Amino acid sequence: MQPNIVDWLVHQERFNDFVREADNERLIRQVHLNRSRWDQQLAVFLGARLLEWGARLRRYGQAAPTPCPEIANSR
């Protein structure tokens, strides 16, 4: 019994569809992973800058220590 060429072509086309679908899903997953990495890198960068700015503001808000005149004159 010889296989029907139409059946073989249908099988081949279905296989090609499955391969294309798997490739598309892989690419979608890769895009989501890259996007999350980009988002995480941006969040880390912004977080570090905010901490630096907060530390600078805290130092700016503090008054410089002034020496006590009695202690300064006694030396």
pLDDT tens, residue by residue, 15-69: 999 999 999 999 988 887 777 777 888 888 999 999 999 888 888 877 666 666 6
Domain range annotation of the chain? 31-62
Tell me the C-alpha to C-alpha distance, in Å, between residue 11 and each of 14, 19, 21, 22, 64: 5, 12, 15, 17, 81
Question: In the structure, what pLDDT confidence band is assigned to residue 6 with cuts at 50, 70 and 90?
Answer: confident
Rg (CA), the chain: 34
Which of the 8 DSSP states describes residue 75?
-
Alpha helices in the chain (DSSP H): 5-61, 69-74
Identity of the residue numbered 39:
D
Please state the pTM of the whole predicted model: 0.44
